[in-house]
Structure 1
């Protein structure tokens, strides 16, 4: 069960009552030190010099002025000055903890002047000792109050930075989820749309082809549902330990299944691999897979059965993925006209993925005709440094 924190007014009231009691006790023993005995006026002034401290958090400057005036009146009647000093010291600390340094120094000068005044009207006090004590106490109080104010300011700044960081992380996570949803929905629905059109076209004339198209639709829709469930699982999962039940993220090992769906849509696509195939970081694998998926989806949507090549090149420090087609360039290629002009969520998503993992991506006309997507990803932190040094 959480303990309730006392409200500032309640806490300050208790402090004010305690300080008043201590001040009265000091005033009562002042007779033994040769100072006048307290009377009714002295008790009232001691109360006025300490009880306003209860409101120091709300009106610190007003409280400071009130306790100083009560202290001056108490000293002017010839009573022991020490008994009235506690409230003024706490008031000065409060001012320094709330206001800027110039205001705090000005208030410290006022309190120092009050102490000097007590030394002037009293024959029993040493001026050197009075001034030294006044300067020392005021310096410590202003310094402590300033540290408290700066600590609060730093805490507020830290909270603001944490809130801003949280907003950025939420925005980045939304962008990542949006890319995932786009990749899943756009690709699978494109395959389903093409296969559904094919099945409708050959339903009466070629039942074997129609059945194959319907089978592809079934498999593609099932995979799409699995990936959507995985994304929804991540969105709903609050305990990271429960993420083991989610479906595995797509990797380059599943490229064959992806290519089979594209071939079933009427696009001849070939895969070639150069270098030694090796496991890569999950993020790198997912990035490469999604870029290939998006590129092939654009081929499926915008080409007229253009031949397509997917090439993977495993180098020592990086992976290069190239997807090319031999489309005619007027809508028959990897990128539709709108995307070539700089729009399209697919191209934006590919660039964001590449940037996220420290890679580069280029999309444009191929030298031999058609269009090409070329992705280069560092496969490790060492690879990222090696690539940066090579491009300098």
Structure 2
């Protein structure tokens, strides 16, 4: 059930009416306090000194001026000054909460002068106490008004910062999605391109090889569509607040065999070796390692000629090390984007996101190498930071 917040004008109108009622009730005690009894003119001035407060948010200075003039007129007729004071006090607070401190202090001086004026025309015997009371009340009202204005400004700044942070998070999420799409499309399309070229080349001379290439294209395209469908499902669930059910799992290191088989089918001999005790890792770490291997093998397909590759995984107590080496012919420099393409940037960003390190570059003995080291848990990440200090 949705709750509606009352409108400020409604709230201020109720406050103004309550202040009028309270002032009228207090005015009936004037005689017992030694002041003249209120007549019709006095009651009209009491209403004018309080009712405009209903518009205090829309025109603070105008409301302050009106209630001050009504209060001065009320005091000048010799009535009890306290009865007309409530509206001007709230009006002063409102001015201080909206306008600058200089304007608020000026209005406070006017209200203090009215307070002192009431003591002068009533020939008060406690003039010193009255002046002190006027200064104290006006100072407190201005101080609370300034605090309210600063709190409102801080709240606006906080909302602006939250909106900016949300915008940055959306931009980061878009970047992550772009990297995921790059990883999915670039790898699978590279395999499909190589296999399509092979099928066309041997279509007339080796039908069996051509059929095998077409089968690889079929499997690879189906997997690409499945990953794209999975990503779209995640996006759709994000838009619907997660109402569409659980998304399909993202790729893990258990699927490296399938990845290597596809690259082998593309004509690149790839070896896979695993050292250490294989164990489940956090999903983000597994996805990071899988995507880095995928991107590295995609680069082998796109940028090398007649070169094999070797994928090595090494599980240790605190870390997972992944290396992909192109063990044959050097990478064709004419086909590698200067400064690193989106794939290389994506690999570095993934490694940084999970507290890992990555090195990408040519090998001294020829070829190319990618080496990724990832902490396997938050504890391992802290252990790594302490070890490198």
Task: Give the drift of 1:153.
Answer: 2.2
| Partner-residue secondary structure (3-state), 2:117 | helix
Distance 1:68 1:125 in 2: 24
Task: Give the drift of 1:63.
Answer: 1.4
| Partner-residue secondary structure (3-state), 2:223 | helix
Distance 1:243 1:311 in 2: 36
Task: Note the alpha carbon deviations across 1:65-87, whole angstroms, 9 max, x for none.
Answer: 22112212211221110111011
Other-structure match for 2:283: 282
CA distance 1:16–1:90, change in 2 (3 Å): same
Distance 1:338 1:121 in 2: 93
Other-structure match for 1:292: 293
Other-structure match for 1:365: 362
Task: Give the drift of 1:198.
Answer: 0.8
CA RMSD, 1 decimal: 2.1
Task: Give the drift of 1:141.
Answer: 2.4
Q: Which moved more, 1:357-366 or 1:61-70?
A: 61-70
Q: TM-score, normalised by structure 1?
A: 0.92
Other-structure match for 1:186: 186
User: Is 1:274–1:313's contact at 8 Å kept on the other side of the alignment?
Assistant: yes
Other-structure match for 1:380: 377
Q: TM-score, normalised by structure 2?
A: 0.92
What runs of 5+ residues in structure 2 fail to find an aligned partner?
A: none
Other-structure match for 1:273: 274
Task: Give the drift of 1:174.
Answer: 0.8
Task: Give the drift of 1:201.
Answer: 1.1
Other-structure match for 1:229: 229
Distance 1:33 1:389 in 2: 77
Other-structure match for 1:346: 343
Task: Give the drift of 1:40.
Answer: 4.0
Distance 1:2 1:231 in 2: 34
Distance 1:219 1:75 in 2: 94
Matches within 5 A, 1:76-95: 76-95=76-95
Task: Give the drift of 1:208.
Answer: 1.5
Task: Give the drift of 1:242.
Answer: 4.6
Task: Give the drift of 1:354.
Answer: 1.0
Distance 1:195 1:337 in 2: 19
Task: Give the drift of 1:157.
Answer: 2.2
Distance 1:25 1:254 in 2: 83
Task: Give the drift of 1:125.
Answer: 5.4
Task: Report the count of equivalent residues.
Answer: 387
Distance 1:37 1:385 in 2: 80
Other-structure match for 2:303: 302
Q: Which moved more, 1:45-54 or 1:135-144?
A: 135-144
Distance 2:366 2:4 in 1: 74
